[in-house]
Structure 1
Amino acid sequence: MNKVPFAALFAIMAAPALAAAPTPTERGDNSASADAEGTDPARLAAAEVTIDYLFPLGTYERMMKGTMDQMMDSIISQSFDRPMAETMKGYGVNDAAIEEMGDASINDMMLERDPHFKERMQISTKVITNEMVDLMTAMEPAIRETLANIYARKFTADQLAEMNAFLLPKPAAPLLVTI
């Protein structure tokens, strides 16, 4: 399994749980040495290391470019391959008009009226994906900063050090060369 999507998913899913976690003061941990703003710089530095691993720069771009086209194609095909009559039920369309639609799908109807429909949808998907990548890439530093602040407030320096020791790759043992 690719680490990046899993790590991003973990970070996103963990954020609400961390926000609800008791602070060191609420736990009775007076040794947390938080500054006036509530975040000890040493804890923040350790939290930034954790977030760099869980949510590295470029995570959104890799996720969006890796899966957005497939996801959008799937959504479009699921939505547009349904029979038009089934889709229109409940939208105030009279029964006679629904009956007249038969089993034709939205896709069938659009292709009949616009032979370039699929091409237009592919272009639209590409434009939307590119714009979403730009938007999410612009938001990513603020999200990473927020996650680091949450981790720094919710975990002690020792807990962050344990996480980092677990997450970060271990340095290779030096090779002993005998001559």
Structure 2
Amino acid sequence: MFALLAATALASSPVPAPATTGPPALPVVSTPVAVAQPPVDPARLLIARTTAGALFSDGTMARMLDRMLSNAPGSYASWVLDMTPGDFMAMVPPGTFPATPPKDSPEMHTTFRQMAAKGDPFFDQRFSAIHDAVVAEAARLGPSFEPQLRDGLATSLARRFTASQLTDMNRFFLTESGRAFAEERYLVWLDPAVFKSMMSAMPALIKEFPASAQRVKAAVDRYPWPKKATTPEAAPKKTVPQEASPRRKK
């Protein structure tokens, strides 16, 4: 939802796009790992590469952004834009946003899309243009970074699953059901039903948070805290007495 709000803000703040010719070569940065990882069996890694290719195929990032930012009816973006503040407030715990208009005020029954369109009659067209440009950039840049992500994903899979388990997964991904699951596995989290369920769980979580925080604090406080570094007090500056200026003779 935060990415969608950022896109909405961008729709009202046009930024000149630099001209580009092709996908840049993104540098691979090696991050040192504190704990040495066990070596990966080459045979298992080979099987895991097929699994990673099914889970994160070419164009995955572009497809995710396409589904998230699409302005078509029934999409995630349209669902959020066609909500009213009243709809949103009904999903969050009471008192989360105390400074809100009364429930019966007109602004609580105005959709976010209508609010944006008041200041920009071309909001829908601009939002669609942002969708098209972002998806095109993701498709352009995908070949530069998606293979790197698949390499890391394959190594992670090879460490966590046996060769037999990875083979079972690959066999599943060859089926129609497996291909459908691999295609939708990330996108299901953008479904409005998932967001509604997450928001409906917030009141119970917020109610439990103070007690949970105390239990976490008690677990941490079993160990002495390091002493805070004290900064030496600055020595008082010595004041040099100024000589009295001689009086002028009249």
TM-score normalised to structure 1 length: 0.49
Structure number, greater radius of gyration:
2
